[in-house]
């Protein structure tokens, strides 16, 4: 059917060309105008006939006056990390690549006021008053996910050098709304607490394997039912490791925030009747900065008051 339709279309086009060549300038103008009007009428009719399919789309506009959080999680990243021989318990190359990809997302979508990441996940917080993509959840989530995934591939060599990327990384996403400053702060505290719990477990687990000579099954069995204090005791008494001295990026995760930085540049200026001279100019620019600090206490929020918006009072 497609081939028959194409041949008919080509034949009609050829006939139209012959007719036009046989007409004078005025005749050609009239003929083309007539064809254009007919085509326009047909387009309008077709649009009105088929446009009803738009009614199947779901309205996923995010509620106003709420912070929009898009959280990405690596899909099958346990297998992905094994295929690429990630260092255990933490691979600084992989963490650096995650942060670089998240920075790319923030630089693309400036309404993101803070992003927090640990392991194979990153959360992006859009300011409460954001109108990006008309606050459509699907648009926000897919744009964040696609920008992050493509950046992960694009910057791979910057962190892993000549080690090849053996399979494409995959991230799933979700959108959650938080109506108050306290809700948002508690969400970020929850993710940082999760970072601490997971990293403490992984630090002890891999110490038991790499330094204690246990198998993965034996290490897992050894840690069943243990509390944080028990894990700290194992690290200190058996491996002389003080968990508090471990890298902050591993214990606290990574927070990306906008900060204004003054930078001085040299410009060459030339005025009439004056020799060209160098002038040093200082200007302020907003840049994404990576921090590895506590989000649960008050200090971070006091130092970054622009993240949270004032709440309306009745």
The residue behind tokens 């105008």 is 33
Cα 39 off chain centre by: 43
Structure token pair of residue 88: 């255990």
Residue 138 main-chain phi, psi, to 5 deg:
-65, -40
| Lateral strand order in the sheet of 171-178 | 171-178, 67-74, 121-126, 112-118, 254-269, 277-291
Q: Find out whether 149 is annotated in a ligand binding site.
A: no
Q: Find out whether 78 is annotated in a ligand binding site.
A: yes
Cα distances (angstroms) measured from residue 203 to each of 194, 209, 232, 292: 14, 10, 10, 18
Structure token pair of residue 183: 């809700």
Residue 40 main-chain phi, psi, to 5 deg:
-65, -45
Q: Find out whether 26 is annotated in a ligand binding site.
A: no
Structure token pair of residue 135: 């606050």
Peptide bond between residue 89 and the one before it cis (omega within 30 degrees of 0): yes
- Contact in structure between 263 and 283 (CB atoms under 8 Å): yes
Q: Find out whether 84 is annotated in a ligand binding site.
A: no
Q: Find out whether 236 is annotated in a ligand binding site.
A: no
Q: Find out whether 119 is annotated in a ligand binding site.
A: yes
Which residues have a Cβ under 8 Å from the Cβ of 234 and sit 6 or more positions away? 204, 207, 208, 226
Q: Find out whether 143 is annotated in a ligand binding site.
A: no
Dihedral sign for Cα atoms in the order 303, 306, 309, 311: positive
305 DSSP 8-state letter: T
Which residues have a Cβ under 8 Å from the Cβ of 144 and sit 6 or more positions away? 70, 72, 105, 109, 124, 173
Q: Find out whether 100 is annotated in a ligand binding site.
A: no
Cα distances (angstroms) measured from residue 195 to each of 71, 105, 117, 260: 14, 21, 9, 28
Binding-site residue numbers for GTP are 73-78, 119-120
Binding-site residue numbers for Mg(2+) are 73-74, 120
Binding-site residue numbers are 73-78, 119-120
């Amino acid at each position: 059917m497609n081939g028959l339709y194409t041949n008919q279309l080509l034949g009609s086009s050829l006939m139209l060309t012959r007719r036009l060549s046989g007409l004078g300038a005025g005749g050609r103008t009239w003929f083309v105008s007539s064809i254009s009007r007919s085509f326009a009428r047909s387009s309008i009719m077709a649009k009105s006939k088929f446009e009803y399919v738009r009614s199947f789309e779901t309205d996923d506009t995010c509620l106003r006056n709420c912070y929009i959080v898009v959280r990405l999680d690596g899909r099958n990243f346990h297998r992905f990390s094994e295929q690429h021989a990630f260092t255990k318990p933490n691979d600084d190359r992989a963490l650096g690549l995650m942060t670089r990809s998240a920075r790319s997302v923030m630089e693309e979508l400036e309404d993101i006021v803070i992003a927090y990441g640990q392991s194979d996940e990153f959360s992006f917080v859009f300011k409460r008053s954001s109108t990006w993509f008309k606050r459509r959840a699907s648009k926000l989530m897919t744009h964040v996910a696609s920008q992050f995934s493509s950046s992960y591939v694009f910057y791979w060599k910057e962190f892993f050098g000549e080690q090849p990327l053996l399979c494409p990384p995959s991230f799933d996403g979700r959108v959650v709304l938080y109506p108050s400053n306290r809700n948002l702060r508690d969400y970020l505290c929850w993710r940082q607490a999760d970072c601490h719990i997971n990293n403490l477990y992984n630090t002890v687990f891999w110490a038991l394997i790499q330094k204690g000579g246990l198998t993965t099954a034996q290490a897992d069995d050894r840690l069943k039912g243990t509390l944080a204090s028990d894990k700290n005791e194992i690290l200190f008494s058996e491996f002389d490791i003080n968990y508090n001295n471990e890298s902050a990026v591993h214990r606290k995760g990574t927070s990306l925030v906008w900060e204004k930085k003054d930078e001085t540049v040299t410009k060459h200026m030339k005025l009439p009747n004056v020799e060209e001279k160098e002038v040093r100019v200082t200007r302020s620019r907003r840049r994404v900065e990576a921090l590895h600090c506590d989000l649960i206490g008050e200090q971070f929020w006091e130092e970054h008051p622009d993240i949270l918006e004032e709440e309306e009072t009745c």
